Amino acid sequence: MVPLFFTVGGNRPVKILPNIQAQADGHPVLTYTYNIYSSANDETPAMESRQEAELLLEKKLDPNYLGHLAIEDPGKLFTYIADGNAELSTTEVQEVIENIMHYRNHPGLWNLDES
């Protein structure tokens, strides 16, 4: 699993974890659902493992979890579900969408060899 890291809202570092990441016929296939976490500078391998283990759980327990973004129709319909301990502002959600779509439109940027 290779997360994406970027900053939204000018000063909120976030980490994006796709629910599923796979290879199909040698080409990367990216999910349509992304989990969003506050990104801490002191993140440990144990924290990363816990977040990855929670990906398919209905309720995420990680205190850094900010919710998830579902892409229903790329470029047209996005749904942000704020089911974490905190939530993103409308502007921050828009920035998350723009960043994810940038990576989806340029798959070479998503380093899949790290998983």
CA-to-CA distance for 38 and 20, rounded, in angstroms? 20
Supply the pLDDT for residue 114.
46
Supply the pLDDT for residue 92.
97
> How many CA atoms lie within 13 Å of 56's alpha carbon, on the beta-carbon side?
3
CA-to-CA distance for 112 and 78, rounded, in angstroms? 24
Q: What is the band of 32 on the pLDDT scale with cuts at 50, 70, 90?
A: confident
Q: Quick one: how far is CA 66 from the chain centroid?
A: 10
Give the number of domains in the chain. Answer: 1
CA-to-CA distance for 17 and 72, rounded, in angstroms? 17
Full residue range of the structural domain in which residue 26 is found: 4-114
pLDDT in tens, 64-115: 999 999 888 777 889 999 999 899 999 999 999 999 989 888 877 766 544 4
